[in-house]
Amino acid sequence: MINKVVSGAAEAIRDIADGSTVMLGGFGLCGIPENCISALVSKGVKDLTCISNNAGVDDFGIGLMLHRHQVKKMIASYVGENAEFERQLLSGELEVELIPQGTLATRCLAAGYGMPAIFTPAGVGTEVAEGKEVRNFNGKDYLMEYAFDADFAIVKAWKGDTAGNLIYRSTSRNFNPVMAMAGRITIAEVEELVPAGALDPDQVHTPGVYVHRIFQGSGYEKRIEQRTVRPKN
């Protein structure tokens, strides 16, 4: 069985070059590849096209790369927590493609399944549909969206083995699994790395066949985007 372990984040992202298209897993600030993002910031790679559910916040996640002007284009569903993102968008410094969340996930799936495109009713008759093909199936219009073409997918899992099999926890299972399928090269950082064969096969969410590099991360902050509590009675 192939051992896919690398020494750490710096080695894992070693060949991500200027102008690359990179998927980054996670939902909000949950399950984001914190170590790889820090390594990309340290490396100073620029002109990236980033595909993610969101753009992080000003001082965490993809927001760290935005502050250093490393992102040329952002493809995302939700960007409402990042003031620097807003500033760069309004000033014309950043290209932005907003995508319905279900379309984002399905375009990832299409890439993983080897499908060139999908048809979805989401966005028909709106600005999202401008310049795109619309077809009618059984009396209903559908918008054609292309599968993503990403050079790299970077995901974060709770546990993985040396062969690249991954298990996610709770909300981090949202976009990480579909993005892990979709990159030409998939990089996984995990909280706990175990020997091949140590994971229960019935619990594996991403089979190792999709993963090219894996390492055990450290120092995870696991921030909460919006903390809401009940008032005391």
Instruction: Identify the CATH number of the domain in which residue 209 sits.
Output: 3.40.1080.10
Phi and psi angles of residue 59, each rounded to the nearest 5 degrees, phi first = -120, 25
Assess if residue 10 is contained within a domain.
Answer: no
Total structural domains in the chain?
1
Pairing of strands 71-76, 166-167: unpaired
Q: What is the pLDDT of residue 20?
A: 98
Q: DSSP assignment, residue 173?
A: G
Assess if residue 196 is contained within a domain.
Answer: yes
Assess if residue 75 is contained within a domain.
Answer: yes
pLDDT exceeds 80 at position 80: no
Assess if residue 134 is contained within a domain.
Answer: no
Assess if residue 33 is contained within a domain.
Answer: yes
First-to-final CA distance of the chain: 57
Q: Which domain holds residue 57?
A: 17-98+149-216
**26 Cβ contact list (under 8 Å, min separation 6):** 32, 33, 52, 53, 54, 61, 156, 172, 174, 175, 176
Q: What is the pLDDT of residues 99-157, one digit of tens each?
A: 999 999 999 999 999 999 999 999 999 998 999 999 999 999 999 999 999 999 999 99
Assess if residue 122 is contained within a domain.
Answer: no
Is the model's pTM score more than 0.85?
Answer: yes
Q: What is the pLDDT of residue 212?
A: 97
